[in-house]
Structure 1
Amino acid sequence: MALALLFALISWQVAVDGPLLGVDTGVRGAVHDLRRTLLSIPLNHLGVALSDLGGGIPAVPVLLGCAGAAARLERRAGRQRWWLPLPTAAVAAVLIPLLVVPAKAYFARPGPYGLPLAADQWGWYPSGHTATSAIAYGSAALLLARSFGRRVARRLIAGTAALCLGVGAGLVWSDYHWFLDVVASWCLAGLLLQALAAVLRRFGSH
């Protein structure tokens, strides 16, 4: 519920150009000041590299590969619905553009540089790279975690969360996205992952 409310609040503020968007300009200014202070080329390259991890390639192939590995592990474990990770991953991959692209087209928010959108651009809100990374890597972690003990599963999920946070941080650091674009996509991904976890508990327990 909290994720849904936060997503709705941010979306409303983006739609009406509300005062909450001052958070974006404040964060962007602070990041620019920090970048000028550090003058770290390796850190800037790291930001770009982390941002790239949110692209459809490699995120979707990683999701599908992990789904195949999860299905194989579950088949070895004798689970009746060992094949469930495969359609689950396919649905998650399809939902990414179905959720993000219409929202981008509807809100048509300009990026951090403030340039008008070109005819072939959808807009920056919500962040597609953030949503792609969180949904794809998060789904992959949930599918694999079912085949391991609690300790390994927790480490896997924690590592995936850190990776997805890194992608969002890289996008903001590299000036590719507003901060709230990233936060909104985390909310959207969180809602989808909660639904996915519920489905796996309901139908994948045997």
Structure 2
Amino acid sequence: MSTPSDPHTKCAPTSQGRRPPVPGRPTTFLFGLCALLFALITWQVIADGPLRDADERLGPWITGSRLPDGAAEFLADLGGVAVAVPFLAAAIAYTSWRGHRAGTFRWWPAPVAAAAAMAAVPALVIPLKELIGRTGPPGMDGTGYYPSGHTATALVAYGGAALLLLPHLRGTYARRELIIACALLNFAVGLGLVRRGYHWPLDVVASWCLFGMVLQGVALVVARYGRPPTPCETDPAQPK
């Protein structure tokens, strides 16, 4: 317990300046769950297992749903590089500027991690598409539909942007709403892709699992380096 003479007493973190907790067991569990699901789905797709059969029955049912074609196309386009990547780039630029302006110690690892996660999308998706060679839904030619590149791009872009912005938001409500909005947006992109017949449902789910693991790496970096400095960290009387 600190005493009034303790020089660190005045630097006790406040509700707005507290360092975000570094993920521990929950992150390890979630990473393992994503890895297990991705491995299971990939095995079922390659082996023409019962999960793939169910997937190919579910796909036409979603394609025939009442969601208007225009709305579905709009949602699918949100996973395109032309839309998603500039969104992430804007978040990287903004949080980099905020971190540099605030004098945050090592402000750059979090933006670099988010950019690296986006670079990982083609590096992982393209070889998997060629290796697995899954055929597309009815009306789509050729192979290479698993996993979904648009889904991966959307998850990394919008998820990465949300992770970068979270430490800069004040209040639990704002952070919760950002997370909910990000989750709904990514679900909408996946729904649009399946509704338009561009992908099977498992193509989308597999990308969520694979790049959910990638985003957890970004989350760890953001938790360590992505927060704004606390008042005592910016106090010139405190040692750097």
| TM-score of the pair, normalised by structure 2 | 0.76
Counterpart selection for 1:46 from 47, 68, 71: 71
1:175 counterpart = 2:206: no
Counterpart selection for 2:47 from 16, 19, 23: 16
Percentage identity across paired residues of the two chains: 45
The 2-side partners of 1:183 and 1:166 are apart by 13
Counterpart selection for 1:112 from 137, 146, 151: 137
Instruction: Number of aligned residue pairs: give it.
Output: 196
> Are the counterparts in 2 of residues 64 and 89 from structure 1 also a CA contact under 8 Å?
no
Match of 2:83 in 1: 58
- Structure 1 residues 74-113: aligned runs within 5 Å: 74-113=99-138
Give the unaligned 5+ runs of structure 2.
1-31, 230-240
Give the unaligned 5+ runs of structure 1.
none
The 1-side partners of 2:162 and 2:59 are apart by 31
1:3 CA drift (Å): 1.1
The 1-side partners of 2:165 and 2:50 are apart by 41
Match of 1:72 in 2: 97
The 1-side partners of 2:107 and 2:209 are apart by 29
Q: Where do 4+ consecutive residues of structure 1 move more than 4 Å? A: none
Match of 1:28 in 2: 59
Name which one, 1 or 2, has greater alpha-carbon Rg: 2
Q: Deviations over 1:85-138 (max 9, x none)?
A: 432232122111011111111001010127662xxxx60000000011001110
> Are the counterparts in 1 of residues 109 and 221 from structure 2 also a CA contact under 8 Å?
no
> Are the counterparts in 2 of residues 51 and 171 from structure 1 also a CA contact under 8 Å?
yes
| TM-score of the pair, normalised by structure 1 | 0.88
> Are the counterparts in 1 of residues 121 and 152 from structure 2 also a CA contact under 8 Å?
yes
RMSD over aligned Cα atoms = 1.8
1:189 CA drift (Å): 1.7
Q: Deviations over 1:35-80 (max 9, x none)?
A: 4xxxx6xx21110110011011111111111111011222333311
Cα 1:33–1:62 shift into 2, 3 Å: closer
1:158 CA drift (Å): 1.3
The 2-side partners of 1:163 and 1:157 are apart by 10
The letter for the 2-side match of 1:45 is: G
